[in-house]
């Protein structure tokens, strides 16, 4: 084991104090916080999480934004394929049976992901379709999606 001495700014000391306080890192059996042990724990955490100080840190927010964008890309494709399948198959189904299918589908959605309806959107505008499902429509003139 090697002893290392370092000069720290007040901001760095405050940060180590916060780490020590939040994680109850004390000097021996006393209730006095240990900046040295806090620094050691910080180094251990960086090592365990393979922190590379040469790379720009990616926050969880960046990962979530990327995931949301990927989901937004996938959903219209899934809806398109699902709708096409429905239109093709519904021609041979009587209207009464189709109504039963709609009811069963809504019941299924409510049991599987019904709480999605309670999500409040602040960044986007939406409307409700005739089934009460939120949607984000766009004027047909502004849409880049065209039929062939």
Domain ranges of the chain: 10-48, 60-135
DSSP for 63-103 reads HHHHHHHHHHHHHHHHHHHHHHHHHHHHTTS-HHHHHHHHH
Write the CB contacts of 14 (distance below 8 Å, at least 6 apart in sequence).
Answer: none
Most confident of the ranges 14-18, 29-33, 124-128: 14-18
Adjacent-strand bridge partners of 26: 33
Interhelix angle for 35-48 vs 10-22, to 10°?
80
Q: Which two tokens stand for residue 36?
A: 């040295």
pLDDT, mean over the chain: 83
Q: Which two tokens stand for residue 101?
A: 């299918």
Neighbour count for residue 123 (Cβ, 10 Å) = 4
The total number of residues written for the chain in this structure? 148
pLDDT for 77-109, tens place per residue? 788 778 778 878 878 888 888 888 888 888 887
pLDDT for 21-71, tens place per residue? 999 999 988 889 999 999 999 999 989 988 888 877 666 677 787 778 778
Give the Cα separation of 93 and 90 in Å (integer): 5
Neighbour count for residue 85 (Cβ, 10 Å) = 10
Q: What is the pLDDT of residue 60?
A: 66
Q: Could you tell me the pTM of the whole model? A: 0.45
């Amino acid at each position: 084991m090697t002893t290392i001495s370092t000069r720290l700014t007040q901001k760095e000391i405050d940060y180590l104090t916060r780490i020590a306080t939040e994680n109850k890192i004390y000097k021996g059996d006393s209730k006095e916080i240990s900046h040295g042990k806090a620094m050691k724990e910080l180094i251990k955490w960086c090592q365990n999480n393979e922190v590379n100080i040469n790379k720009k840190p990616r926050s969880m927010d960046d990962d979530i934004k990327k995931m949301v964008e990927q989901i937004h890309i996938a959903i219209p494709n899934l809806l398109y394929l699902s709708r096409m399948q429905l239109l093709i198959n519904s021609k041979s189904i009587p209207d009464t049976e189709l109504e039963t299918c709609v009811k069963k589908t809504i019941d299924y959605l409510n049991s599987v992901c019904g709480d999605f309806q309670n999500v409040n959107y602040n960044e986007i505008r939406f409307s409700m379709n005739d089934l009460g499902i939120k949607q984000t429509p766009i004027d047909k003139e502004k849409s880049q999606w065209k039929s062939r």
